[in-house]
């Protein structure tokens, strides 16, 4: 056994000597070279792993909290909008009228108006799936999808009972039936400010999966990370891991050890390592102003797993360096040290046999040529690094402009020293924005980077030609071309403004002259390099003032904030009405003239926010007017008009969008509604009946008014109202008579004349709809 082992060792040693056929001292040099490579790599790798683990853990914690805040702002905005929508519906005049009106069960016009209000609200907030109004007095349920139904026949009777239970006014909950179907509901009991037993409820329902997608889109991208939202009562509203109540049972945060510890802490925000059911978890939480708690959870093992790649990389690096060290040592021994070996052998040969010609070739020359090659490669590498330096510097400046206030002093100094950026002096940011290029049909919306590239080249060339300016040109997200200009600390603000004004005017004129680009320039205020991000934000804000200063090519932020604001501004409601009326009657010239006046009045506010709000209100009024005359306008559009409105930044762009895009669309759809809408026809007939209470129009007369045949009108009326024309007319007359019987002392005959009936016909109608005569009805009111 021992002999076999020794024999194998001798064979291995013989094989190694054949592979590395050099003298003994070179063999030791080979292994010394391997060890000298491996040991530094192992030490450096271990230090790098330790440092990276600390840094990556800190970075992850920062990213985790930042993503949680973004999630809170986003989801809280969605939930608050729905709560506000519920409050508007519940406190609106239609809901209040329905709760108080005794004949609500037969008031089809009011029910239609409520359904139209639901449709408009749903179109405004597309995340809402279902809207329900329940009147406890009549036990009627009005649903956006299913229309009018009695409570006992309604598919969600258990939901209505659960909504009216308890004492909470408005709250989020999972109702029994809709919760099983994957809906989360916001319930508001009616009346809003009432006490005691509720008289009804308004319920807005949203797909839980739609809200859960919001949670998943704001995670930091780790597989096992979960995001949870608790309400003010520590009940789980949403969880990114799946449905909250798949079996129809609510889940309390107290059943989970991590959520229980966070709820019991009493703190509004924080980040801790807590012990959960499956080990330690990093938990970050942030409470909103509405009492909802947003919680991000990540198992400790998942964090460690994210850093495991560093260990693998270290092992691979050690293996590669060992292999490369062995190969380099072998090649160097065979190539670089081979001439020395030959010289030694040649000297030994001379000592033994006397003089002899030297070996062919000059091995020393080979060594020198190898050193020259290494020197050339080193110069090539230096040249490549110098070429890369501007790109790396641009990335550093981009990060500085986007998040400069969060940088520490030492990090800023380190970056400036690395990229040779002077830290002293005054720095100012200038932003160039090309206007309305897509409308000019020269570029597609996706070709923004092409425009930014061209603008950057012009700015760089003008900066190089200027002898009084020093700075850097960068782009931000392929949208904005930005110049970071540097001035001496002794230079006054007035002198800086003069230099910047000349440079900005040259940019504007050059883009207009050579590229036909209409551009505006925003300029921030000067300050230290650490305040560059603030100056960049000010330059962007200055560009917003193009909305009411579209004649100015260069806008200084300091000028914009000094503009005296109009303390009182009244929204031009009459101009809005003029625009809506002109569009409905097909008068585009009049609508355009009214829009000019509307823009002039809005511009007088001297406020970007007020102007944008005015245009949003105008767009909402136009949509509302078309919806009132013919529901379904938003379904016909298939686009989000409010998103298109936000893309316009100047007064000219907004005006062109209204005139060239919105007005023709509204006119086309309005024409279609006027000519084809069956609901509009029925509404016109109902309005005619309501406005002529003393007459008894026939089906033929009403058909002539709306210009359709009597048979077609009869079918439309049955389809839209669920009742025939005669029954609707009789019921309307009965409701009129009931009101007169209640409020006046007219005789039955006089009341019949006032509603356009004979006394005999009025008695028949009362018997059919009220199951008593008019006299009996009056006596029942006064008994």
Please report whether residue 457 resides in a domain.
yes
- Residue 689 contacts residue 699 (beta carbons within 8 Å): no
Q: Are residues 643 and 686 in the same domain?
A: no
The pLDDT tens digits for 662-686 are 788 777 776 666 555 677 788 888 8
Mean pLDDT of the chain: 76
Lowest mean pLDDT among 79-88, 286-295, 461-470, 602-611: 602-611
How many folded domains does the chain comprise? 4
Instruction: With H, G, I as helix, E, B as strand and everything else as coil, classify residue 150.
Output: strand
Instruction: With H, G, I as helix, E, B as strand and everything else as coil, classify residue 192.
Output: coil
Name the residue among 646, 655, 667, 645 with its Cα closest to residue 592. 655
Q: Are residues 648 and 555 in the same domain?
A: no
- Residue 133 contacts residue 114 (beta carbons within 8 Å): yes
Q: Are residues 555 and 650 in the same domain?
A: no
For residues 589 and 387, the model is more confident at 589
Q: Are residues 556 and 455 in the same domain?
A: yes
**What pLDDT shows up at residue 84?**
86
Cα atoms in the Cβ-side hemisphere of radius 13 Å centred on 507: 31
- Residue 666 contacts residue 624 (beta carbons within 8 Å): no
- Helical H runs in 218-337? 257-265, 300-331
For residues 165 and 217, the model is more confident at 165
Phi and psi angles of residue 708, each rounded to the nearest 5 degrees, phi first: -135, 170
The percentage of the chain sitting over the pLDDT mark of 70, rounded to a whole number, equals 75
**What pLDDT shows up at residue 20?**
47
- Cα(596)–Cα(590) distance, rounded to whole angstroms? 10
262 — pLDDT class (breaks 50, 70, 90): confident
**What pLDDT shows up at residue 704?**
86
- Cα(214)–Cα(226) distance, rounded to whole angstroms? 12
* pLDDT reading at 714 higher than 80: yes
Kindly state the average pLDDT of the residues 156-174. Answer: 83
Q: State the CATH number of the domain containing residue 109.
A: 3.30.450.20
Instruction: With H, G, I as helix, E, B as strand and everything else as coil, classify residue 420.
Output: coil
Please report whether residue 339 resides in a domain.
no
610 — pLDDT class (breaks 50, 70, 90): confident
Please report whether residue 225 resides in a domain.
yes
Name the residue among 564, 511, 560 with its Cα closest to residue 540. 560
For CA atoms 391, 396, 398, 399, give the dihedral sign: positive
**What pLDDT shows up at residue 623?**
79
State the residue range of the domain holding 594.
Answer: 573-662
Phi-psi category of 248—alpha, beta or left, where left has phi over 0 and alpha has psi -120 to 50? Answer: left
Q: Are residues 585 and 724 in the same domain?
A: no
Lowest mean pLDDT among 5-19, 86-100, 496-510, 725-739: 5-19
Name the one residue in this structure whose structure tokens are 């110069």: 379
**What pLDDT shows up at residue 529?**
83
* pLDDT reading at 223 higher than 70: no
The pLDDT tens digits for 29-42 are 656 666 776 677 77
Lowest mean pLDDT among 69-83, 603-617, 701-715: 603-617
Name the residue among 247, 292, 250 with its Cα closest to residue 268. 292
Please report whether residue 345 resides in a domain.
no
**What pLDDT shows up at residue 247?**
43
The distance from CA 585 to its chain's CA centroid, rounded to whole angstroms, is 38
Kindly state the average pLDDT of the residues 533-560. Answer: 77
Please report whether residue 13 resides in a domain.
no
Out of 280, 305, 320, a domain closes at 320
**What pLDDT shows up at residue 356?**
44
Instruction: With H, G, I as helix, E, B as strand and everything else as coil, classify residue 103.
Output: coil
* pLDDT reading at 521 higher than 80: yes
Residue 106 Cα distances to 478, 735, 762, angstroms: 60, 9, 18
Instruction: With H, G, I as helix, E, B as strand and everything else as coil, classify residue 186.
Output: strand
Kindly state the average pLDDT of the residues 84-103. Answer: 84
Q: Are residues 685 and 626 in the same domain?
A: no
Kindly state the average pLDDT of the residues 352-367. Answer: 47
The distance from CA 453 to its chain's CA centroid, rounded to whole angstroms, is 27
The percentage of the chain sitting over the pLDDT mark of 90, rounded to a whole number, equals 0
- Cα(711)–Cα(724) distance, rounded to whole angstroms? 11
Q: Are residues 553 and 616 in the same domain?
A: no
Lowest mean pLDDT among 99-113, 293-307, 527-541: 293-307
**What pLDDT shows up at residue 249?**
45
Out of 608, 630, 662, a domain closes at 662
Name the residue among 78, 229, 90 with its Cα closest to residue 163. 90
Please report whether residue 61 resides in a domain.
yes
Q: Please tell me which of 251-255, 372-376, 459-463 the model is most confident about, judged by mean pLDDT.
A: 459-463
Q: Are residues 77 and 199 in the same domain?
A: yes
State the Cα torsion 174-175-180-182 to the nearest 10°: -50
Q: Are residues 655 and 687 in the same domain?
A: no
The H or E element spanning position 706 is: helix 699-706
**What pLDDT shows up at residue 628?**
67
374 — pLDDT class (breaks 50, 70, 90): low
Lowest mean pLDDT among 42-51, 289-298, 708-717, 758-767: 42-51
What number of H helices and E strands is found in the chain?
30, 16
Out of 632, 662, 692, a domain closes at 662
Phi and psi angles of residue 297, each rounded to the nearest 5 degrees, phi first: -130, 135
Q: Are residues 477 and 403 in the same domain?
A: yes
Please report whether residue 220 resides in a domain.
yes
Q: State the CATH number of the domain containing residue 720.
A: 1.10.10.60
Cα atoms in the Cβ-side hemisphere of radius 13 Å centred on 233: 9
Beta strands at 293-299 and 128-135: parallel, antiparallel or unpaired: unpaired
248 — pLDDT class (breaks 50, 70, 90): very low
**What pLDDT shows up at residue 354?**
47
**What pLDDT shows up at residue 351?**
46
Name the residue among 658, 648, 638 with its Cα closest to residue 595. 658
For residue 165, count CB atoms less than 10 angstroms from its CB and return exposed for 0-12, middle for 13-18, buried for 19 or more. exposed
Beta strands at 554-556 and 519-523: parallel, antiparallel or unpaired: parallel
State the Cα torsion 52-55-59-64 to the nearest 10°: 80
Q: State the CATH number of the domain containing residue 447.
A: 3.30.70.270
Q: 101: which 2 tokens?
A: 């009106």
Please report whether residue 669 resides in a domain.
no
* pLDDT reading at 765 higher than 80: yes
* pLDDT reading at 360 higher than 50: no
Q: Are residues 579 and 532 in the same domain?
A: no
- Residue 572 contacts residue 598 (beta carbons within 8 Å): yes
Q: Are residues 544 and 399 in the same domain?
A: yes
For residues 651 and 582, the model is more confident at 582
* pLDDT reading at 340 higher than 80: no
**What pLDDT shows up at residue 637?**
59
């Amino acid at each position: 056994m021992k002999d076999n082992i020794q024999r194998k060792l001798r064979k291995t040693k013989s094989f190694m000597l054949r592979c590395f056929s050099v003298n003994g001292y070179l063999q030791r040099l080979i292994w010394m070279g391997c060890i000298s490579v491996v040991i530094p790599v192992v030490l450096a790798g271990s230090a790098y792993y330790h440092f990276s683990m600390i840094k990556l853990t800190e970075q992850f914690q920062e990213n985790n909290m930042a993503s949680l805040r973004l999630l809170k702002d986003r989801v809280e905005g969605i939930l608050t909008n729905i709560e506000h929508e519920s409050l508007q519906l519940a406190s609106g005049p239609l809901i209040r009228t329905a709760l108080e009106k005794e004949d609500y069960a037969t008031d089809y016009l009011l029910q239609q108006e409520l359904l139209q209000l639901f449709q408009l609200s749903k179109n405004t907030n597309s995340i809402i799936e279902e809207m329900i109004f329940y009147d406890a007095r009549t036990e009627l349920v009005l649903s956006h999808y299913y229309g009018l139904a009695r409570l006992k026949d309604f598919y969600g009777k258990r939901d209505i009972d659960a909504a009216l239970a308890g004492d909470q006014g408005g709250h989020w909950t999972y109702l029994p039936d809709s919760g099983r179907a994957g809906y989360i509901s916001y319930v508001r009991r009616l009346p809003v400010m009432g006490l005691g037993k509720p008289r009804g409820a308004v319920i807005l329902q949203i797909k839980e999966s739609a809200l859960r997608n919001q949670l998943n889109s704001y995670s930091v991208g780790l597989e096992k990370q979960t995001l949870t939202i608790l309400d003010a009562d520590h009940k789980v509203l949403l969880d990114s891991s799946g449905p909250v109540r798949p079996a129809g049972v609510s889940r309390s945060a107290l059943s989970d050890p991590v959520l229980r510890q966070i709820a019991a802490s009493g703190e509004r925000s924080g980040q801790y390592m807590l012990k959960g059911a499956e080990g330690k978890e990093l938990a970050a939480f942030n409470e909103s102003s509405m009492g909802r708690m947003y919680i991000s959870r990540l198992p400790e093992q998942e964090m460690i797993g994210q850093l495991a790649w560093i260990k693998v990389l270290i092992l691979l690096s050690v293996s590669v360096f060992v292999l490369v060290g062995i190969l380099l040592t072998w090649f160097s021994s065979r190539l670089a040290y081979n001439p020395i070996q030959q010289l030694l052998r040649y000297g030994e040969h001379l000592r033994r046999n006397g003089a002899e010609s030297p070996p062919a070739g000059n091995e020393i020359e080979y060594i020198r040529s190898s050193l020259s090659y290494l020197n050339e490669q080193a110069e090539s590498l230096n040249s490549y690094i110098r070429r890369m330096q501007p790109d790396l510097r641009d990335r550093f400046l981009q990060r500085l402009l986007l998040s400069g206030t969060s940088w520490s002093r030492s990090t800023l100094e380190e970056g400036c020293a690395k990229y040779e950026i002077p830290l002293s002096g005054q720095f100012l940011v200038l932003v160039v924005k090309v206007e309305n290029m897509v409308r000019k049909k020269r570029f597609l919306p996706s070709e923004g980077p092409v425009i930014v590239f061209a603008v950057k080249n012009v700015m760089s060339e003008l900066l190089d030609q200027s002898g009084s300016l020093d700075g850097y040109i960068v782009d931000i997200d392929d949208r904005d071309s930005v110049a970071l200009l540097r001035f001496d600390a002794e230079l006054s603000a007035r002198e800086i403004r003069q230099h910047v004004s000349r440079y900005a005017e040259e940019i504007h004129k050059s883009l207009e002259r050579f590229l036909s680009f209409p551009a505006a320039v925003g300029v921030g205020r000067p300050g230290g390099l650490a305040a560059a991000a603030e100056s960049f934000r000010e330059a962007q804000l200055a560009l917003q003032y193009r909305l009411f200063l579209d004649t100015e090519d260069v806008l200084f932020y300091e000028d914009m904030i000094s503009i005296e604001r109009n303390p009182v501004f009244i929204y031009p409601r009459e101009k809005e009405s003029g625009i809506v009326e002109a569009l409905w009657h097909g008068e585009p010239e009049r609508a355009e003239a009214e829009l000019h006046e509307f823009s002039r009045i809005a511009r007088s506010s001297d406020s970007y926010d007020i102007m944008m709000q005015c245009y949003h209100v105008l767009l909402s009024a136009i949509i509302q007017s078309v919806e009132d005359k013919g529901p379904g306008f938003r379904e016909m559009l298939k686009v989000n008009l409010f998103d298109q409105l936000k893309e316009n930044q100047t007064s000219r762009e907004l005006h062109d969008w209204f005139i060239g895009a919105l007005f023709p669309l509204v006119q086309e759809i309005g024409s279609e509604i006027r000519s084809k809408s069956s609901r509009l026809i029925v509404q016109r007939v109902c309005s005619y009946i309501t406005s002529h209470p003393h007459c008894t129009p026939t089906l033929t007369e009403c058909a002539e008014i709306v210009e359709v045949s009597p048979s077609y009108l009869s079918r439309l009326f049955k389809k839209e109202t669920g009742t025939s024309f005669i029954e609707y007319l009789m019921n309307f007359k009965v409701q009129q008579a009931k009101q007169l019987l209640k409020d006046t002392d007219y005789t039955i005959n006089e009341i019949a004349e006032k509603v356009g009936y004979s006394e005999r016909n009025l008695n028949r109608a009362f018997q059919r709809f009220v199951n008593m005569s008019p006299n009996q009805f009056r006596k029942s009111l006064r008994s």
